[in-house]
Amino acid sequence: MVSMTMLMEDMPKPEIDAAPGRTLRARVFKASTILSRVSILTLFILVAAGNITNSLLVKYGFEDQAAHASKHATFIEMMNGTAARPFVYRSVTARLDYWAATQIVHRWPWVAGVADGLLLHRCYFADVKDADWTPAIATSYTLMYFVIVASTVLGLFFVWRIARNRGLSYVQATGFMIAFSFIFPLFFQRSVLFYDFIEFAGVFGACYFLLEDSMIPCTLVIVLFAFVKETFFLVPAGLFFLHKIDVPIKKRLTWFALQLGACLFTRHFIMHGFEHNPGGAVEFHLFDNIAFWLSPRYYLDLNNLVGPGIFLPRLENPLILIPIALFSRRAWQLSDRRWRRYFLAAFLPLLALFIPFGFADMFRNFSLAFPAITLIALSAAGNLDAILRCRSTLLQQHRRQSPLPSGRGLCNNKPG
């Protein structure tokens, strides 16, 4: 998963003596250092991925709960293509998953027993009735579970690589990735769908490859993950503003036209054939959203997302909102115009769609802008301690930077 070239960056380079013994020791030291870096990063990525997937799947599963089935399509309905619109537009991976599961069960029936032995039905998918938990269904749920885990691992690796691209050291980038894994589930305060995890890998992959000026892999990622969700065409629209300033506008437009054209073609393909499914292309919730955001009680609400009995404040709760506001303000001040431009291009269209078509505080609707938010956050990743210092320290800094003409301190009321 982790290439040797990536992990050799910033690695201490021992001086190699001409003596064969010292040369051998230097090579052993170099190899052990690379192995240690691979092992540590792999360990932390797997633990972080487990934290994300476990907390969200324990809470929501695949949205098969009876309370959600009327509004959100169940995974079984997604697999057979009978889900309501717009969710059925995102069913390509579910239908491919079910097709693969039926082929596997037909050729190797014992696989269904192995899938059942993982106890995923009891741990994450208990809302699926026992009568519906057939060998093919059990295998398809298991396959999708591993797709979700792999997507989360890949997405976290791209987060780590983006942090390294921004100049963070190996240890700093690893710490940022771990912190990201703690905060990421908080954006899914009301629901999570299986395609959210796959989309997570796609949007961060496209962003990473563009930052590395690898436009062919970036375009391939966009084309592939456009099959996951019909709104993925917004990704190249935002990435258009992430190019370096010295990239010619003609080149930007060429790549943008190619990526957008592929996304629109894919969008037409995945939306075709579901005209008679219930629902519509969008869900209108403007008045529900107005009522929600004008109600004071929601700003003090808690959520047991991490685990049963562990209640955390929601993102709009002042206990989280105030630190986020302080950090975001400083991060914005420290961000280059390139990151700001990309953030506005990725975030504002989603905000405009969220107001009438989102629902309450379902911040997962901003998932396509998560890479832009991450790039802004990286601008202040090393300044968290300075941001959270007490006000007296800030006043002392202000006095040193901007002394009053009279020579008095800001808090000094004595005559000079």
Q: Which residues, 6+ apart, have CB-to-CB distance to 298 below 8 Å?
A: 292, 314, 316, 360, 361
In 3D, which of 82, 289, 79 has the Cα closest to residue 190?
289
- pLDDT at position 416 is 37
- pLDDT at position 280 is 86
Q: Which residues, 6+ apart, have CB-to-CB distance to 13 below 8 Å?
A: 30
3 state SS of 302: strand
HSE (side-chain half, CA atoms, 13 Å) at 232: 36
10 Å Cβ neighbour count for 387?
15
In 3D, which of 326, 320, 48 has the Cα closest to residue 189?
320
For the chain, domain boundaries: 20-284
Are 346 and 367 a contacting pair, CB within 8 Å?
A: no
- What are the beta bridge partners of residue 303? 312
Helix (H) or strand (E) holding 380: none
Distance CA 343, CA 374 (A): 9
Global confidence as pTM:
0.87
The CA–CA distances, whole Å, from 370 to 119, 183, 235 equal 32, 12, 11
10 Å Cβ neighbour count for 249?
8
Give, for all 416 residues of the chain, the pLDDT tens digit.
455 556 555 555 555 455 666 788 888 888 899 999 999 999 999 999 999 999 999 888 888 865 544 456 889 999 999 898 999 999 999 999 999 999 999 999 998 888 888 889 888 998 888 888 999 999 999 999 999 999 999 999 999 999 999 999 999 999 999 999 999 999 998 889 999 999 999 999 999 999 999 999 999 999 999 999 999 999 999 999 999 999 999 999 999 999 999 999 999 999 999 988 888 888 889 999 999 999 998 898 888 887 778 888 899 999 999 999 999 999 999 999 999 999 999 999 999 999 999 988 899 999 999 999 999 999 988 777 777 775 445 445 555 555 544 444 434 444 43
Q: Which residues, 6+ apart, have CB-to-CB distance to 120 below 8 Å?
A: 141, 142, 145
18-43 pLDDT per residue, tens:
566 678 888 888 889 999 999 999 99
